[in-house]
Chains A and B, each alone.
Chain A
Amino acid sequence: MFKTLKAEFGKYFVEFKTYYPDHIVSLIVTYILFAGFFLGFRNSGNLSEGFYIGFLCWYLASNIISESSVSISFEKQAGTFEQLLLKPVNIELLCLIKTFVWLVFSSIQVVLLLILVKFTIPIQFKFDIKIIPILLITLLGLSGLGLLLAALTVRFTKTASFESILSYFLLFFTGTIIDINSMPIVFQIISKSLPLTQGIMISTRILENEPVSSNQIIMLCLNSLFYLFLGAIIFKIIYNKTKSKGLVTDY
């Protein structure tokens, strides 16, 4: 696994260097989005203490979910996907490793974004080291959803629209920018079952110095593991069916 991780880091680093303008553009777009939401909500008086952490959680989460599928789509287009399948590495594990590598690079981008925000927008950041493990547990669960989307990409290839729906759902229905309790009851139920909602809620409580019970953390862990295993199982089923149909490498 370590060698695979090293392989992916090496490749991503070269890719990052080669296509660095894309990453700069992505950083600027995220900055504009963040600044827009922040200024808009501050002026309307609806800005909570944990707004920025919610936004960053969503930013990482929506990309964590789409990373595997974007990567598979790219590999299928480039024609290298079959070569990955021909290597002695479990494809689900490879997807998770790719997602982890992306997370590391994205975290660096997030730090850069925060530095940019700090110097350009009058915002007070609260930070507590305890939110990092909460964030990692949350993102682990979300990578299960990522595997689900990756499986759909293996089968159907063009799944960008699914990713957009899921991303905006996460933005508006997980407490990132809108209070969950003000939503219709159906969305409240769906929203509360997602690891991201729970993760943002716990992180916000930590930042606001409110107590977090061990039950809440256990629930988050169980929820994340549930989504991870669900994603892995669904991936396996769809992947095997697609293999039988001979559509794995279709683009």
Chain B
Amino acid sequence: MKILKVENLTKGFKNGKKENLVLNSINFEVNEGEIFTILGPNGEGKTTLIKLMTKLLNPSKGNIYYQGKNIAKIGEKYYKEIGCVLEGNRNTYWFLSAMENILYFGRLYGLKDDYIVEKGTELLEFFGLINDKDKKVGQFSLGMQQKLSIIISLIHKPRILFLDEPTLGLDVVSKIDIIEMLKYLTKTEGVTIILTSHQMDVIEKIADRVMLLKDSRIHFLDTIDKLKDMYSKSKYLIKIEGYFDEKDLYKYLIDVSIVNHTKNNGFTEVEFYNDNYSLQQNFLKSMLNDGIIITEFKKVESDLEEIMYMFLKNREGNEGNV
């Protein structure tokens, strides 16, 4: 079931007489209960899109529908259905304690104090902050502040949770904690999560679907596996005895794109992109003929970061050719 639908959404910001188009006629839908990730280089409109979907910005054109209703016409009631944590660590009041923050924002949702304390305690326990509930937020670490912001955004049981770079600047432990907790929330509470992130490791672990924004448009929208299938087919590793510089290897590795080259423990390892079987046969033969000892040759899976890099590089190349 679709919970959110974005239709012909366009947003531009005027700079004098010129309009800088950040999003240009984009269309997509978000399924209920999924973790939907928005990816893209800096300045490509990820945060703008989050702000449009949360009505912090008005679109230049187009509409956004929540369960079939145009959000522009729902009014403030829309905020009872969504929760949002924006980028940065300033979503809470530093002079209030964790529980005082939860109480303050819970009351703004029109919730009863008893309920806020009960649900707040449950969430504080879930996020491992129960022992810090009376501590001022000013004394919290970045990870604790981020967890508290998420707790506050969940206090009214929203159907959609918007998270803008939720794990940015966090240590590994906090990052993994938050990822695991968000995954658990979608499973147990059915919360739909729409998040932006630069961190590929986070996206890889959490996302059901990925949307890539670039040049004001959607360049890819599907599952991570599809993205990987499209771009990880052609990555190979070759391990040879001895030390070889990259320029020495180009003699053999014609028409391939080397992505990694290391020399270690008497071996040289090269990772490259190429899917041409006959070409591979040729350069392997040439190497063997020249007495190079190949100890390993295998296809390897790319991580998401490499895939994104290739994806964006290919796009730039294609655009340049047009």
Q: Do A and B bind each other?
A: yes
Residues from chain A with Cβ under 8 Å of B104 in the complex: 7, 10-11
1/0 per residue, CB under 8 A from A, across B279-321: the answer is: 0000000000000000000000000000000000000000000
CB distance from B158 to the nearest CB of A (A): 10
* B266 CB–A CB distance under 8 Å: no
A244-B57, A245-B14 in contact; A78/B96 too (CB < 8 A)? Answer: no
Q: Is the CB of A10 within 8 A of B105?
A: no
* B243 CB–A CB distance under 8 Å: no
* A122 CB–B CB distance under 8 Å: no
A87-B105, A88-B76 in contact; A240/B58 too (CB < 8 A)? Answer: yes
Residues from chain A with Cβ under 8 Å of B128 in the complex: none
Q: Is the CB of A78 within 8 A of B94?
A: yes
User: Could you list 28 A-B pairs, sorted by A, with CB under 8 Å?
Assistant: A3-B108, A7-B103, A7-B104, A7-B107, A10-B100, A10-B103, A11-B96, A11-B100, A11-B104, A14-B96, A80-B91, A80-B93, A82-B86, A83-B91, A83-B92, A85-B56, A87-B76, A87-B105, A87-B108, A88-B78, A88-B80, A89-B76, A90-B76, A244-B58, A244-B60, A245-B13, A246-B13, A246-B51
Residues from chain A with Cβ under 8 Å of B14 in the complex: 245
Interface residues of B in 59-109 (CB under 8 A from A): 60, 76-80, 82, 84, 86, 88, 90-96, 100, 103-105, 107-109
Residues from chain B with Cβ under 8 Å of A15 in the complex: 95
CB distance from B198 to the nearest CB of A (A): 20
A159 to B25, CA, bound (A): 37
* B111 CB–A CB distance under 8 Å: yes
A11 to B107, CA, bound (A): 11
Q: Is the CB of A88 within 8 A of B56?
A: no
Residues from chain A with Cβ under 8 Å of B152 in the complex: 83
A47 to B168, CA, bound (A): 63
Q: What 4 A-B pairs have minimum CB-CB distances, sorted nearest first?
A: A79-B90, A7-B107, A87-B108, A88-B79
1/0 per residue, CB under 8 A from B, across A15-36: the answer is: 1001100000000000000000
Residues from chain B with Cβ under 8 Å of A240 in the complex: 58
* A115 CB–B CB distance under 8 Å: no
* A126 CB–B CB distance under 8 Å: no
A78 to B107, CA, bound (A): 20
Interface size class for chain B? 35 or more
Residues from chain A with Cβ under 8 Å of B109 in the complex: 87-88
A245 to B60, CA, bound (A): 10
Q: Which residue of A lies closest to B112 (CB)?
A: A3
CB distance from A154 to the nearest CB of B (A): 12
Q: Which residue of A lies closest to B81 (CB)?
A: A88
A85 to B79, CA, bound (A): 9
* A193 CB–B CB distance under 8 Å: no
Q: Which residue of B lies closest to A7 (CB)?
A: B107
Cβ-neighbour of B108 out of A7, A78, A79 (below 8 A): A7
CB distance from A13 to the nearest CB of B (A): 10
* B268 CB–A CB distance under 8 Å: no
Interface residues of B in 31-62 (CB under 8 A from A): 48, 51, 54, 56-58, 60
Q: Is the CB of A4 within 8 A of B80?
A: no
CB distance from B301 to the nearest CB of A (A): 39
CB distance from B169 to the nearest CB of A (A): 14
A246 to B56, CA, bound (A): 8
* B110 CB–A CB distance under 8 Å: yes
A82 to B51, CA, bound (A): 10
Q: Which residue of B lies closest to A5 (CB)?
A: B107
CB distance from A14 to the nearest CB of B (A): 6
CB distance from B83 to the nearest CB of A (A): 8
Interface residues of A in 77-99 (CB under 8 A from B): 78-80, 82-90
Residues from chain B with Cβ under 8 Å of A79 in the complex: 88, 90-91
1/0 per residue, CB under 8 A from A, across B1-26: the answer is: 00000000000011000000000000
Interface-centre pick from A6, A11, A248 (highest chain B CB count, 10 A): A11
CB distance from A149 to the nearest CB of B (A): 22
